[in-house]
């Protein structure tokens, strides 16, 4: 086996050095009644070439570009990834290193993550950002727990227009804690209804997503004012980080914590993971942040360098009193996002975000003209909800046969929205794709 | 000693990204605008983020230089204890980037995602077979996330019996994530000391186990690299009081095909695909931390679960007792593909051989260095061995000094100052992918360093000298944090 370098001769001489007769004898401290006597029931080893064939078979059994046109986002977005991003990301000094516990030997990862933290903070209009979380959903759950720690209150309110699967993750994290999660309804314009906040006391935080699950852009500033009136922390959640190339950043609108999904920043969709949990906050909350942080410092010679810092928040120092249990995070995905943000640049990200918005508007207009109803009036970014005529599910199946995925049916997430579909258009959809989509849907 | 691999090369300086850019440059091929502009209401739009504008070659040089300041398994031996820094096969990277996998949307209808669902279904089965458990959930994103999943499962199990237990037993040798995960789930960690042989005793566990204790969190082999010899009996003590046994499987690399945790009383175990199953650590993730459980915990596993019928695969949410979801989608699928490829490439015999050689390598280092460094527990070890700086402290040389000096010799240092039960711990886990000559070099380097400690301690105090930077001021970094530029 090419991954195991020992020759028989090596093994013999090493066994001798250790003072045992054979490989089995190395396990003498394992009591007989703990040992597994049989052979593992697993498929026999494949050669590299057999593996290629097998994996190509599996990968071929998936609906992806260029064959399929997927008009679906809902937290996972198809964006172009410049070749230099995966190329650089493949540098094995980045890929095969561990969490940078020994900073002198990990300056590459550390500077890159410091740069990621900085670019993320700038994107979200915040002062600081963490080194990464698993995904947007866990970043939200950890942000809510952070607000509970900061305010010492035990109740949070979250918008029902936060991604339904994110809310499910929040409920999973909260279930054994005894903390309460209240959901806020939505208005007919497709934005969060904050009226219930009036009667709520003792709130640690209110979380609102923008653009929300329906693609609608929330008025974050107005939300922030209402939330701060309740002396609660304002958490702005998001699933489409690219939108902040164009939209007001959460920080500029008064958010105390901004958290969400960074997959759009150069990370392949890969069936939803690995993704990138982005989490940023005001500087004053620094010592309550969950997860890893990289900070700047100097070496003995006064040269600039970077280290993991504020570790006294973390599990390996603070154990049960830590701000989170997170250890391995999604560092390489953060690095990927930094490479992407660096490649696209300040000028590019704005143009790209505009293009996403404009293309979605083009499809929206086309569908409207074809007689379909756009469910919510509010401005959207690159996703929007269409109400198709009753019985559209048959058309949906027909479109699948034509290799078009006509968005996400919303009824299983919002039972009141039968025949409503969440559509997504990014820069990867051409005008022709959209024209033919409208034609097919209307036919 | 033979010439060491550690040397100096031409290392290039590189500024921060925003110290490089110039407005008007671009590193991105902007997609063609084939629709007209349709401006949003100005009240909704901001100025856009203050990112630097860089050309493509700016970006390429920047990250190429940064990568050269880093050290990975591909650079050299990385014997970080408890982290299993084995070689990450390159074919696995290729497989995970196949367009059919990398381009897949997570909410595609099941009929359009059969390839990934099949891979995940089979991986679940392989992991259940390797651990001797009944079912697997792949959703947790990393080891600590798997621990949280395990705690939630135990919580849900007791809840289904109408119980709310408040405590959980955690040995003093545990990873820090264990008490942190337990706390996140509302459990009060009850510490239990390991005995003078470095393992748990039945008596110590019996003393604290009661009907208000949800179970025990045990790492086996433990973080001292020792097999928990009484695990079966300890499991019985815990089960007798209605508790469950959680195994932190971070050290599974020692016992693949040798111990099946499901057969020795473990109820739930998490695996680290980024340790045992060779997926790269990526400088701190992404990992993947599946949990494997016995039958009685299966109803509580996270959803959606993959179900198979006549060779076709579907996702099902129809598990009313499920703990829910741990990530928005299905877990770190890209990492799973690599682990799957690894298991398929290795086959059952080589997986077992990997564990045997991992244990052989650790024992070889233990024997090679025990005259030089103080060995915390002089017993046969599993996949890692723990030394300390006890001998060197007489010369005022601490673990950290030896660790930093190892860098000059071209090795990544072992895990230091963990486990906490060994003062000044040096925890070495070579893994099976290091060959004898490299182990010999490592042993030789450590012996040379121990000699230097007596003859020229300044070499150690000032180390490292061959890295991009010298020793960094971590105290000031924490006291006056600068987290963004």
pLDDT of residue A315 exceeding 90: no
**CA B141 centroid distance within chain:** 11
**Tens digit of each residue's pLDDT (9 = 90 or more) over B165-193:** 999 999 998 888 999 999 999 999 999 99
**In chain A, which residues have their Cβ closer than 8 Å to the Cβ of B180?**
315, 318-320, 322, 324-325
Q: Is it true that domain B92-345 has CATH number 1.10.10.410?
A: no
Cβ contact B280–A135 (<8 Å)? no
**In chain B, which residues have their Cβ closer than 8 Å to the Cβ of A437?**
none
∠B74-B27-B35 over CA atoms, to 5°?
Answer: 130
Cβ contact B484–A129 (<8 Å)? yes
Cβ contact A4–B433 (<8 Å)? yes
> Does A197 map to a domain?
yes
Upstream peptide bond of A66 is cis (omega within 30 degrees of 0) = yes
* Same domain as A280, residue A181: yes
Last residue of a domain, one of A288, A314, A340: A340
DSSP state of A46: P
Average pLDDT over residues B91-117: 97
Chain A: closest CA distance from residue B251 (Å): 14
**In chain B, which residues have their Cβ closer than 8 Å to the Cβ of A277?**
none
> Does A275 map to a domain?
yes
Nearest to A93 among B68, B175, B364 (CB): B68
Locate the chain A residue with the closest alpha carbon to B36.
A358
B/e letters for B341-380, b = 16+ CB within 10 Å, e = fewer, are: bbbbbbbbebbbbbbbbbbbbbbbbbbbbeebbbbbbebb
Place A318 in a pLDDT band, splitting at 50, 70 and 90. confident
Average pLDDT over residues A27-55: 97
Residue A234, burial from CB neighbour count under 10 angstroms (0-12, 13-18, 19+): buried
**Tens digit of each residue's pLDDT (9 = 90 or more) over A130-185:** 999 999 999 999 999 999 999 999 999 999 999 999 999 999 999 999 999 999 99
Q: What is the mean pLDDT of chain B?
A: 96
> Does A145 map to a domain?
yes
| Predicted-complex ipTM score | 0.98
Last residue of a domain, one of A340, A371, A390: A340
Query: What one-character-per-residue DSSP string does A206-271 give?
Result: EEEESS-TTSBPP-HHHHHHHHHHTT-EEEEEES-GGGGGTBPPTGGGT-SEEEEE-TTTT---GG
Cβ contact A273–B286 (<8 Å)? yes
> If you search the block for the tokens 């379909």, which residue do you land on?
A372
Residue spans per domain, chain B: 92-345, 348-468
Last residue of a domain, one of A281, A306, A340: A340
Lowest mean pLDDT: which of A314-328, A389-403, B63-77, B357-371? A314-328
Upstream peptide bond of A189 is cis (omega within 30 degrees of 0) = no
* Same domain as A367, residue A303: no
Nearest to B179 among A107, A132, A320 (CB): A320
Cβ contact B31–A428 (<8 Å)? yes
Cβ contact A58–B179 (<8 Å)? no
> Does A21 map to a domain?
no
B window 322-341, beta carbon within 8 A of A: 323-335, 337, 341
* Same domain as A198, residue A89: yes
Q: Considering its fold, how many domains does chain A have in total?
A: 2
* Same domain as A257, residue A113: yes
pLDDT of residue B158 exceeding 80: yes
Upstream peptide bond of A211 is cis (omega within 30 degrees of 0) = yes
Task: Please indicate if any CB of chain A lies within 8 Å of the CB of B197.
Answer: no
- Per-residue pLDDT, B1: 64
Decide if B57 contacts B63 (C-beta within 8 A).
no
**In chain B, which residues have their Cβ closer than 8 Å to the Cβ of A335?**
282-283
**Tens digit of each residue's pLDDT (9 = 90 or more) over B403-427:** 999 999 999 999 999 999 999 999 9
Place B21 in a pLDDT band, splitting at 50, 70 and 90. confident
* Dist. CA A252–CA B161, nearest whole Å: 49
* Same domain as A391, residue A308: no
**B92-345 with B348-468: one CATH topology?**
no
Cβ contact A26–B283 (<8 Å)? no
> Does A179 map to a domain?
yes
Residue A377, burial from CB neighbour count under 10 angstroms (0-12, 13-18, 19+): exposed
* Same domain as A227, residue A142: yes
- Residue to mutate among A33, A83, A104, with most B CBs inside 10 A, is A104
* Same domain as A90, residue A186: yes
Average pLDDT over residues A398-405: 95
* Same domain as A96, residue A76: no
Q: Where are the beta strands (DSSP E) in B70-166?
A: 135-137
Q: What is the extent of the structural domain holding A354?
A: 69-81+345-442
How, if at all, do strands A277-281 and A128-129 pair?
antiparallel
> Does A3 map to a domain?
no
Helices (H), A160-219: 164-174
The CA–CA distances, whole Å, from B290 to A277, B336, B382 equal 19, 9, 23
Locate the chain B residue with the closest alpha carbon to A167.
B328
pLDDT of residue B458 exceeding 90: yes
* Same domain as A389, residue A368: yes
Decide if B463 contacts B408 (C-beta within 8 A).
yes
Task: Please indicate if any CB of chain A lies within 8 Å of the CB of B99.
Answer: yes
* Same domain as A269, residue A122: yes
**In chain B, which residues have their Cβ closer than 8 Å to the Cβ of A320?**
179-180, 182-183, 189
Chain B: closest CA distance from residue A195 (Å): 22
pLDDT of residue B2 exceeding 80: no
* Same domain as A325, residue A212: yes
Average pLDDT over residues A423-441: 97
∠B76-A95-B11 over CA atoms, to 5°?
Answer: 60
Cβ contact B119–A273 (<8 Å)? no
| Residue A292 token pair | 């890893």
> Does A160 map to a domain?
yes
**Tens digit of each residue's pLDDT (9 = 90 or more) over A80-121:** 999 999 999 999 999 999 999 999 999 999 999 999 999 999
Residue A166, burial from CB neighbour count under 10 angstroms (0-12, 13-18, 19+): buried
Domain B348-468, CATH class in plain words: alpha beta
- Per-residue pLDDT, B195: 95
* Same domain as A434, residue A401: yes
Q: What is the mean pLDDT of chain A?
A: 96
> Does A30 map to a domain?
no
**Tens digit of each residue's pLDDT (9 = 90 or more) over A193-252:** 999 999 898 999 999 999 999 999 999 999 999 999 999 999 999 999 999 999 999 999
């Amino acid at each position: 086996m090419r991954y195991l370098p020992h020759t028989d001769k090596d093994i013999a001489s090493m066994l001798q050095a250790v003072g045992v007769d054979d490989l089995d004898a190395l396990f003498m401290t394992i009591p007989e009644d703990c040992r597994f006597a049989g052979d593992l029931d697993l498929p026999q080893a494949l050669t590299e070439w057999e593996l290629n064939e097998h994996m190509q078979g599996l990968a071929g059994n998936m609906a992806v570009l260029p064959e399929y046109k997927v008009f679906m986002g809902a937290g996972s977005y198809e964006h172009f990834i410049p070749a230099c991003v995966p190329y650089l990301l493949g540098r094995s000094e980045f890929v095969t290193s561990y969490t940078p516990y020994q900073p002198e030997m990990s300056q590459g990862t550390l500077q890159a993550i410091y740069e990621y933290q900085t670019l993320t903070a700038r994107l979200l209009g915040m002062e600081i950002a963490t080194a990464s979380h698993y995904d947007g959903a866990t970043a939200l759950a950890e942000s809510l727990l952070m607000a509970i720690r900061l305010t010492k209150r035990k109740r949070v309110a979250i918008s029902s227009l936060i991604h339904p699967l994110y809310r499910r993750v929040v409920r999973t994290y909260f279930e054994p804690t005894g903390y309460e999660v209240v959901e806020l309804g939505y208005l007919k314009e497709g934005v969060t209804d904050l009226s219930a906040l009036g009667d709520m006391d003792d709130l640690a935080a209110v979380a609102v997503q923008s653009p929300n699950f329906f693609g609608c852009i929330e008025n974050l500033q107005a939300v922030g004012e209402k939330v701060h009136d309740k002396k609660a922390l304002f958490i702005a959640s998001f699933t489409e980080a690219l939108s902040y190339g164009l939209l007001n950043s959460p920080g500029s609108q008064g958010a105390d914590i901004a958290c969400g999904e960074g997959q759009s920043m150069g990370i392949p969709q890969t069936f939803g993971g690995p993704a990138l949990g982005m989490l940023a906050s005001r500087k004053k909350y620094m010592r309550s942040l969950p997860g890893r942080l990289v900070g700047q410092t100097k070496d003995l010679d006064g040269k600039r360098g970077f280290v993991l810092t504020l570790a006294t928040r973390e599990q390996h120092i603070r154990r049960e009193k830590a701000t989170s249990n997170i250890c391995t995070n999604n560092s390489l995905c953060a690095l990927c996002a930094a490479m992407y943000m660096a490649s696209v640049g300040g000028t590019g990200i704005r143009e790209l975000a505009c293009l996403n918005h404009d293309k979605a508007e083009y499809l929206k207009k086309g569908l409207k003209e074809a007689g379909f109803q756009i469910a919510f009036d509010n401005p959207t970014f690159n996703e929007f909800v269409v109400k198709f005529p009753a019985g559209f599910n048959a058309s949906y199946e027909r479109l699948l046969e034509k290799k078009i995925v006509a968005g996400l049916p919303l009824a299983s997430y919002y039972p009141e929205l039968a025949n409503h579909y969440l559509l997504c258009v990014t820069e990867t959809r051409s005008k022709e794709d959209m024209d033919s989509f409208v034609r097919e849907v209307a036919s | 000693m033979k010439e060491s691999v550690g040397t100096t090369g031409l290392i290039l300086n590189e500024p921060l990204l925003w110290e490089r850019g110039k407005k008007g440059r671009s590193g991105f091929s902007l997609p063609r605008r084939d629709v007209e502009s349709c401006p949003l209401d100005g009240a909704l739009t901001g100025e856009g983020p203050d990112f630097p504008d860089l050309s493509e070659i700016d970006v390429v040089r920047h990250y190429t230089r940064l990568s050269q300041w880093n050290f990975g398994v591909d650079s050299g031996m990385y014997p970080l204890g408890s982290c299993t820094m084995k070689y990450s096969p390159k074919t696995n990277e290729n497989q995970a980037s196949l367009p059919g996998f990398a381009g897949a949307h997570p909410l595609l209808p099941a009929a359009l995602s059969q390839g990934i669902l099949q891979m995940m279904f089979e991986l679940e089965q392989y992991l259940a077979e390797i651990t001797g458990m009944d079912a697997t959930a792949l959703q947790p994103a990393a080891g600590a996330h798997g621990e949280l999943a395990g705690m939630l499962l135990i919580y849900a199990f007791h809840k289904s019996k109408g119980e709310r237990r408040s405590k959980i037993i955690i040995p003093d040798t545990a990873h820090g994530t264990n008490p942190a995960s337990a706390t996140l789930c509302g459990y009060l960690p009850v510490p239990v000391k390991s005995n003078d042989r470095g393992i748990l005793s039945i008596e110590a566990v019996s003393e604290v186990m009661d009907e208000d204790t949800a179970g025990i969190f045990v790492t086996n082999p433990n973080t001292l690299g020792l097999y928990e010899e009484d695990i079966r009996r300890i499991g019985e003590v815990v089960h007798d009081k209605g508790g469950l046994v959680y195994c932190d499987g971070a050290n599974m690399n020692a016992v693949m095909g040798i111990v099946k945790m499901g057969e020795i009383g473990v109820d739930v175990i998490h695996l680290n695909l980024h340790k045992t199953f060779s997926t790269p650590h990526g400088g701190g993730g992404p990992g993947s931390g599946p949990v494997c459980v016995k039958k009685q915990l299966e109803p509580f596993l996270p959803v959606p679960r993959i179900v198979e019928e006549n060779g076709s695969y579907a996702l099902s949410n129809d598990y009313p007792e499920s703990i829910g979801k741990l990530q928005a989608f299905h877990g770190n699928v890209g990492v799973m593909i690599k682990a799957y490829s690894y298991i398929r490439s290795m086959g059952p015999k080589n997986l077992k051989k990997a564990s045997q050689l991992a244990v052989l390598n650790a024992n070889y280092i233990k024997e090679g260095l025990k005259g030089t460094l103080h060995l915390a527990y002089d017993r046969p070890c599993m996949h890692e061995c723990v030394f300390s700086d006890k001998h060197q402290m007489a010369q005022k040389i601490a673990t950290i000094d030896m660790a930093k000096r190892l860098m000059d010799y071209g090795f990544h240092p072992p895990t230091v100052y963990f486990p906490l039960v060994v003062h000044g711990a040096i925890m070495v886990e070579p893994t099976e992918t290091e060959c004898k000559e490299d182990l010999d070099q490592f042993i030789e380097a450590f012996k040379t360093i121990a000699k230097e400690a007596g003859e020229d301690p300044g070499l150690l105090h000032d180390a490292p000298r061959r890295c991009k930077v010298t020793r960094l001021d971590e105290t000031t970094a924490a006291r006056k944090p600068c987290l963004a530029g």
